[in-house]
Structure formats: C-alpha cells, structure tokens
A and B are shown apart, each in its own frame.
Chain A
Amino acid sequence: MTSFAENSFGEDEKSSSGILLAEGQLDTRHGPILYLENVSVSFDGFKALNELSLYIDAGELRCLIGPNGAGKTTLMDVITGKTRPDTGSVFFGQTIDLLKMDEPAIAQAGICRKFQKPSVFDALTVFENLELALKADKRTWPTLFNRLNGEQRDRINQIIETIGLGAHHQLRAGILSHGQKQWLEIGMLLMQEPKVMLVDEPIAGMTHQEIERTAELLLSLQGQHSIVVVEHDMEFVRSIASKVTVLHEGSVLTEGTMDEVQNDPRVIQVYLGG
C-alpha cells in the first residue's frame, strides 16, 4: 500500500514538466510563486472562470475581492486541485505543474487552504487537529507508528498560543466558537509550514477584537508565506492588503492598491450595479 503511495507520488513529480528540482523545492527566481494563465472552468454551461490569468509573488499578501459568483472559490479549487480547469495552465513556481497533481500532492508541495466555512475535525481535540496538520510523513504506515517528538510538541503548543487557543487545547474542536474554529483552521495551515496559504473569508463571524487579531496574525505571516485572502469585508481588506485583485465574472477586472481599486469606475459599476 505504502509503496503505491510512493509510486504515485513519484509519478506526480516526474510528470511535472521539464527539469525538476528535488522534492518540495521550487523555483521562484522570477518572482511569482503562483502562475495562473488563461484558466477557464465551466459547470454545465456556466463559466465560473473565464480566461483568468493571475500571478502571486513569493511572500506577498494578496487580497481577492469580488461580488458573489465572481469565481473566487472556484479559483481556489483550481489551485488546490479540487477542480480541473477546462483550459489554461497553473504553475507553482517555474517548474511544478499543479494540473498534474492531486490535492494531497499539492498540499504536500506547500499550498494549503482554509475553507470558507471552517472545516475542523469536531471529534478531535484542538491539539489533535493540529497534530494531524503537522508537516510530517503522511503515508499510512509511518502515520500508524508516528510518535510526536519533543520539538514537534513544542511547535504545536507554540501554534496553539499563536492562535490564542492555549486555554482550550484539550477541548474537542466541535465545541469551539465559530471564530475559534476559524483560528484553529488557520493554525492547521501554519502547522503544514506552507509556502502559499489560501485563506477563504477568515473573519466571517468574528468579533471586532478577533478581527483585529486575525489581521495582525496575517500581517505577521507575510514575508515567510505567500498569502491569498478572499474577503468581503472591505475594512479588513484595507487593513491588511498592500495589493488587491478584483475578480468579476470569472476573470480579473483590475489589480492595485485598495485606493486605486476603489476609485476604479468599473469596480464601482460592478459593486453598485451602476
């Protein structure tokens, strides 16, 4: 069974095009860490993404905004391998072709995702949730005999502190508040030491303080990780984003700082419907 896992994983690597560096290592010498070019996706007739092209630079914190149905979530699905685009190419760095990989492979390559509605494992404790996320050999047998060593333990506890759940680390995730779940999930992302974090509506259902702390958290992360945040709350976006991309009807409408974007007539047109 395990051997199969290795093979299939190996295949993903080999098949990804051109000269390939050692596992996980990716080539961002040209700046961007994510390349999406002319990506189109359609669900029986309805074009969710339409010839969309987007570049995320290494270490940047990018915000995606746009009205409902603009294709934000679909975009994330494409990047994380949940949805296969009809056309277009998606590259991770120069070399790694994400379209040739499946979700686990992509995740292990270092692209992690937080879902719109917080999805944590209710049956498990906060600690266990993070433990599962921990970057480690994730094949079956190693997992079976896996024992946490000291530093991993520390790492988990440290993250628990970062996401402010220190008091609750033995509680089952199921009984956490909505906001706490959001954080836990962010924490799970961090556990995986990702290169790219895709964060879908992180502050939904959060109190003011919580929102501020989330903002701080995200800001503190930029630099070490490339982060893509999808959010409706303009205030929040303004508070964190240096660069904003507006999606509309499945393609990029405009890009720029919050102010540029907000003064762009097309954007106003889109949001206020003229």
Chain B
Amino acid sequence: MKANSIKGYCRLAAFLMLLFSLASYGDQEVSTQQPLLDALNNLKQGSMSEREQAITQLAGIGQSSLGILQALLDGKLFTLKSDAKLVIGIDNNQGYDISDAVSGTALGAIERADVNKINLTNKLRVSLRKIIGELELSADDPLIRLAAVKAMGNEDDDAVLALLQARAGVEKDATVLKAINVVFLLKEMNSSDKAVRIKAIEALKEQNNLDVVNRLNVMVEKDEGGNYLETDVEVRNIAKAALIKINSRLQLYSTIETVFFGLSLGAVLVLAAIGLAITFGVMGVINMAHGELMMLGAYTTYVMQQLMPNHLGVSVLLSIPAAFMISALVGIAIERGIIRFLYGRPLETLLATFGVSLILQQSVRSIFSPLNRSVATPEWMSGSWQINDFLSLTWNRFYILVFCLMVFVLLLQILKRTRLGLEVRAVAQNRNMARAMGIPTAKVDALTFGLGSGIAGVAGVALSQITNVGPNLGQAYIVDSFMVVVFGGVGNLWGTLVAGFVLGIANKFLEPFAGAVLAKILVLVFIILFIQKRPRGLFPQKGRAADS
C-alpha cells in the first residue's frame, strides 16, 4: 500500500518537475542543492524505506540527479567507511576509482574494504528504472528515449500519459513517436467510444507487440460471470480477427525461434562431437577421456579470465588458442603414453582412456576444488538480439553457432588442404600402406589425436559460456558426443555436422509436446531404430575398406 502511494506521489513530482524542466532549463542547480543533500542523507541510511524515500526525492530534483540514480541502479554508489561521504565508484579490479557523488570531483582509487555499497531491492530497482525512464524521456539518444517510452508504456496512469503527451509534442525521432503512439492506442482501446476502440485495434493489429496481444486477448475473454469483458460484439469480432492475424505471425516467429534453438543445441553437440569424430572416427580410438579434454578447455577459459579479469572479451578469445594447445598437448601425451600401445585393440583404448578420464577429473578436483568455477560472459556475448517483441535470439548461442561452423570449416580445410590432412587420411585408409610409403605413421597418429583433443578443448571454451565449469562437465557430454558421431557415420565429418543439427532440431521440436526428458528419450530411440535401417550411420564409408 505505502509503496504505491509513494510511487504515485513520486510520479506526480517527477511529472511536474519534468514539465518544468522541459519548458525551460532554469537555474535549478542552485535551487536543488539542498533537497539533493537531504535526499542523499536519506540514501545513506540503512533501511530500505528511507532509501525509497530518498529515491523519490532525487526523482523530484530531476535531470541533475540522473547521474546518481543511474549509479545507484548500477550498484556503483558507495559510502566511504571513513567519513560516510557518498561516492560513485568505478571498479578497477584492485578496488574502485571514486568520485564525489554530488560535485563529481575525482577522489582517486580506494580499497574495496573501505566502502559500503548502497544495496537495492527489486522493488526499489523497479521504481528507480521507471523514474530514470521518465527522466530519460528527454535524453539525447533516441534509443534511450525509446527504451524509456517502452518502460513507461505498461503503466496506465495519467501522469505517465501526460509525460508522453508532452514528449510527443517535441519528439523528432520517428520510431520513438511510433512507440509513444502505440502506448496511446493501447489506452484508446479502453475508451468508452466504440469507434475509437475499433480504430485503435485496426491501427494496432500490424504491430508485433505483446502488450497489444495481451490487450486483445482480454477483449475476447470472459469474466467469472461468463459474459465478455468487451461487451460490444462487433468490436469483439474485429479483435478476434486482429488476434488471428497476429497469432499467425506469432506462430511463424516461434517456429523460427525453435529452429534457432535446435541449431544452437546442435552446434553444441557438433562442437562436442567433432573432436571425437577425428579421434574415434578417423583413428578408431574410443576415447572416453574426450569429455575431460573439453573440461580442460573450459578450465583454461577460467584461468585466462583470472589472468586478465578486466578484459573479459579478449580473455575469451585468447582462451580459444590456449585451450586448443593445452588439450592438444594432453591429448598427445595420452596418445604417446598409452594409446599407441593399443592400436588394433580399439576396445582396450576404451578402458585405458576411461581410466585417464577418472584421473583427469580427480586432478581437476584437487587443483581447482570440486566446486564449479565461475566463468563470466563478456558483454558482447550476453543479452539477446531483439528482432521484435515476438522474436529475439540470444547472442551467446548465436556466436556459438557461428563459432561451430567456423571450427568445422577450418577442420575440413586442414584435412583437405594440408600435408598433415593428407597423411591423416592416408593412415586412416590403410595404415600399413601409408607406412610403406614412408609416412611417419607414429607422428601422424600423435598429431591426429592432438588435433582431435585440441578441438575438444576449443569446444570446452564454448561450453564454458553456457554451462557449468566443473569436474563433471565432461561426463555430461560424452554419451551424446558418441551418439552424434555414430549417428552421422563414423569417419565422416559432414555426417557429424548434419547429425548434430538434426538431433538438436529434432530435440527442440519434440520438447514442447513431450517435455525435456521424454524428448531426449524419443531422440535416443530414434537413433537406435535409425541404426537398424542404416547400420553405418547417415553417411557410411563405402567401398571395400568399410567391409573389413
């Protein structure tokens, strides 16, 4: 209750303030000094209610307090333990570079321990965001203005409307105007005048806007009494028609979304499996430690981030070669140390590498502790690409998809174009003949295994961006990887690629109906049956070689 009344009060204040500030930028600086200080004093107090009050006061002050509010929202606002001075701190991984919150004068760097952060609760964040939105309504950047309008859109109270009205008067940017317009149309749908309502619907049905959908849905719904919320039948039918139109679009978008989900899941599967496709497919080594090699890649990412905490993006990019090197080296070590004694005994490689996987897991536990490690996601990889209200694609998935394809193409080129690739294929085809032709099979084996392992490491980097970085990372993917390779056809990279994507998409299309667990089961059963039809996978190796 209290909260609401305060909200209302603050909006009104903000509204008045804003009209005032829009009308003429006066000499508020001076006049606001005092209330500002009061507000800040309140802010310093521990309790949330006082903070709430402080925020409303700040809102009252208007533009000039925007900086502080923003800092507060971003958790950059601190008080000094020494003299309880209110400062804005920018994180430099030792501590903070602080500046006076009021004057903005820089006060140099300071230890983490010497400041108290001013915490917020969701409640406060919400009202804060709105207030900032209202203040930002007159920001210079049209995008910010747009965001502000969107933020205010759902609030139906007159203060907001009035603000927007005022804004519409002076707004130049077309998109922002459109957004404002949508808000008004939405409101008009409540109007008592039937014609206005119809006009609004007609105008809105082209919009890809969830608020519109919700509003329309309400129109065709019945209340508890069983009579329609929208009394007028004509309006209702128009609304229905509009809904059908919009829903068809919605359907289309959600299909696109599902496909994307499937592809990105597929990308992860492919990344996990492609290394295996080499060690297992080309060399015939059943490498149970493959998952752990991915794990190493993920941990490499973690270590890199520890090394350069304030260059996340760079560290992730650098992790890719680093992870490749590390996993590759470990892989070569495994090959030289164990597997080379086991050629011609593929099943034994399974056992030995299983032992290796246990050892790797436990070593990671001993070195990094059994707890998960936190790997931060760089800015450019977090968030999503909002195509419209109905469709948005998450960046990290998007990048991983691209990354997966890049890795694949690269690998293909290595195998096709390079000398190593040639030798690898030769050895895979006929080991003895290759040796007879003077190809150093031992070296080739080591390098091939290294290549496969390295790629596993690279996959680990990608995984670190979407899932746990912990000792169990490997186990979670090993089974799936084998499925993908076998489904695609052993020894065929294209097979692996297609298989990965097929399984991914299949899984995602099944999930809505069957649920996550059942979907997975169905996919597995499908694989089993498919192998009956094609005992050598999607793209079997042909010719005499395959028979033996």
Contact = CB atoms under 8 A, between A and B. Distances in A.
Query: Do any CB atoms of chain A lie under 8 A from CB atoms of chain B in the complex?
Result: yes
Contacts of B543: 43-44
A2 B393 CA distance: 57
A76 to B, nearest CB: 13
Nearest to B543: A43
Nearest to A43: B543
B123 interface: no
A43 B543 CA distance: 6
A44 B542 CA distance: 8
Contacts of B544: 43
A55 to B, nearest CB: 27
A48 B445 CA distance: 33
Interface in B532-548: 542-544
B510 to A, nearest CB: 34
A54 B425 CA distance: 38
Nearest to A46: B543
Q: Place the interface of chain A in its size category.
A: under 10
Contacts of B542: 43-44
A63 B366 CA distance: 70
Contacts of A44: 542-543
Nearest to A45: B542
A145 to B, nearest CB: 31
Nearest to A44: B542
A43 B545 CA distance: 12
Interface string B512-548: 0000000000000000000000000000001110000
Contacts of A43: 542-544
A44 to B, nearest CB: 5
B542 to A, nearest CB: 5
Interface string A32-47: 0000000000011000
A33 B543 CA distance: 30
B495 to A, nearest CB: 15
Interface in A37-88: 43-44
A110 to B, nearest CB: 25
A44 B546 CA distance: 13
Nearest to B544: A43
A43 B540 CA distance: 13
Interface in B262-308: none
Nearest to B542: A44
Interface string B310-334: 0000000000000000000000000
A83 to B, nearest CB: 10
B544 to A, nearest CB: 8
B499 to A, nearest CB: 21
A44 B539 CA distance: 13
A43 B544 CA distance: 9
Interface string B151-193: 0000000000000000000000000000000000000000000
A44 B545 CA distance: 13
A44 B543 CA distance: 8
Interface of B: 542-544
5 contacts: A43-B542, A43-B543, A43-B544, A44-B542, A44-B543
